[in-house]
Amino acid sequence: MSALDTAPATTSDPAEKQVDDRVDQLLAEHDPKTTPAVEFLGAQYDLGLAWVHFPDGFGGLGLTPKLQRHINERLAQVSAPTPYGRNPIGYGMGAPTIVTHGSDEQRRRYLRPLFTGEEVWCQLFSEPGAGSDVASLSTRAVRDGDEWIVNGQKVWTTLAHLSRWGMLIARTDPEAVKHKGMTYFVVDMHAPGVEVKPLFQITGEAEFNEVFFTDVRIPDSERLSDIGEGWRTSLTTLMNERVSIGGQIQPRGGGFIGEAVKVWKQKGCTDPARRDELMKLWIRAEVLRLTNIRAQQLRSVGTPGPAGSIGKAAAADFNTDVSEFCVDLLGAEGMLKPDGYPMDRPKHAMLWAGPQQAFLRMRANSIEGGTTEIMKNILGERVLGLPGDVRTDKELPWTKVPRS
């Protein structure tokens, strides 16, 4: 298919026209079928089509984020390489954090190789004693001249084994209240003292890891927040994480529901009760898709609000149910995982790799990126305005907060 085959109907919106012209240019100069993914994505970045709402020169054109869907749809039609699976944490969470809080130098250094997937990113937030309540974390960063020395442990760190850079929050003032004494850094995952160990999941793969820091030195120039203001910066990461996990907008009937329809057809199903189940799932997929489109349109400059938790919580339930439905349809075959339990460390995370794999992997959707209970708390408090959860340690210095 050539660029002309995908050309959209003429638009009168000058921003959309600008974007369409650039997509035409991208496809004319880089055939998505033959251009290596890194080269194609690099050209997409240089034309401002990576995150269209980012500033000019940093992978965007300073336009409304609504136009990104239009770009993505046009590129999907020609099966162009996508950045998400190559670097899901970097693409969905690292980039918006860097563009919002980083200096121009940091944006220049990090954004392009992040988008092309040449440099994978990971998120170093959760710890053995700090998950839902991540602000209670214990990893310490102590100032030493122009550097910080980091000691501590992170856990469940997706793709840390492939990562070049990590988004790290560490405690820099233990005497401040817990939300105030943290600072946000970019850490070089190849620095001396960083140790990454696999944690195997129910799928037989270790997408995530434990990460240990022993006297790891981070230059102060790699600090992403003001000292003690790491929580505010980490909210940008967390808000984007929810949208990154639950807010993906697939074509109508595409994504996981498309996979379920495929299994339905492959099995030649005719049972009306099963058909009813499939239709209910299809309707849920469509409601989720439309809700995510609405959320994207309400977002003006890219940082999602608490409503991102709707998509995150709904997608977790939906993904679990749809993969369960597929495995039910498969009958005995559903118990057989075709690729076995490889006990390896995959290069991708969060992708659909067959119904049996998905059935096992989707269980984690209600935990990763904030549990469904926490999403409901956010929705209750920050969207519906209900009374807040009881928080007894909010005003205490971190050193006085009881910990296990």
Which residues are catalytically annotated? 241
Using the contact rule CB under 6 A, the part of the chain among 11-19, 63-71, 306-314, 366-374 near ligand FAD is 366-374
Smallest distance, Å, CB 371 to ligand FAD? 3
Answer yes or no whether residue 401 interacts with ligand FAD by CB under 6 A: no
Whole-angstrom Cα distance, residue 252 to residue 217? 48
Residue facing ligand FAD at closest CB distance: 131
Answer yes or no whether residue 8 interacts with ligand FAD by CB under 6 A: no
Taking the least distance from each CB to ligand FAD, the nearer of 159 and 257 is: 159
230 contacts 169 by C-beta, under 8 angstroms? yes
CA angle 8, 12, 16 (to 5 degrees): 60
Q: Name which of residues 42 to 81 contact ligand FAD (CB under 6 A).
A: none
Per-residue x/- mask for ligand FAD, residues 178 to 217, rule CB under 6 A? ------------------------------x---------
159 contacts 382 by C-beta, under 8 angstroms? no
φ/ψ of residue 227, rounded to 5? -65, 130
139 contacts 127 by C-beta, under 8 angstroms? yes
Smallest distance, Å, CB 348 to ligand FAD? 13
Smallest distance, Å, CB 361 to ligand FAD? 8
H-helix or E-strand containing 396?
A: none
H-helix or E-strand containing 142?
A: strand 140-144
The torsion defined by the Cα of 38, 44, 45 and 48, in degrees rounded to 10, comes to: 180
Smallest distance, Å, CB 403 to ligand FAD? 12
Answer yes or no whether residue 20 interacts with ligand FAD by CB under 6 A: no
Directed axis angle between helix 104-116 and helix 37-46, to 10°?
140
Total Cβ atoms within 10 A of residue 141? 28
Taking the least distance from each CB to ligand FAD, the nearer of 176 and 367 is: 367
Residues in the chain: 404
Taking the least distance from each CB to ligand FAD, the nearer of 227 and 367 is: 367
Concatenated DSSP letters for 155-178?
-S-TTGGGEEEEEEEEES-TTSBT
Indicate which single residue of 116, 364, 378, 398 sits in contact with ligand FAD (rule: CB under 6 A). 364
Taking the least distance from each CB to ligand FAD, the nearer of 8 and 204 is: 204
Smallest distance, Å, CB 126 to ligand FAD? 3
Per-residue x/- mask for ligand FAD, residues 122 to 141, rule CB under 6 A? xx-xx----xx---------
Whole-angstrom Cα distance, residue 123 to residue 112? 18
Residue closest to 80 by CA, chosen among 167, 13, 1: 1
Q: Which amino acid appears at position 215 of this protein?
A: D
Answer yes or no whether residue 247 interacts with ligand FAD by CB under 6 A: no
Smallest distance, Å, CB 123 to ligand FAD? 4
The residues binding ligand FAD (CB under 6 A) are 89, 122-123, 125-126, 131-132, 156-158, 208, 364, 367-371, 373-374, 377, 389
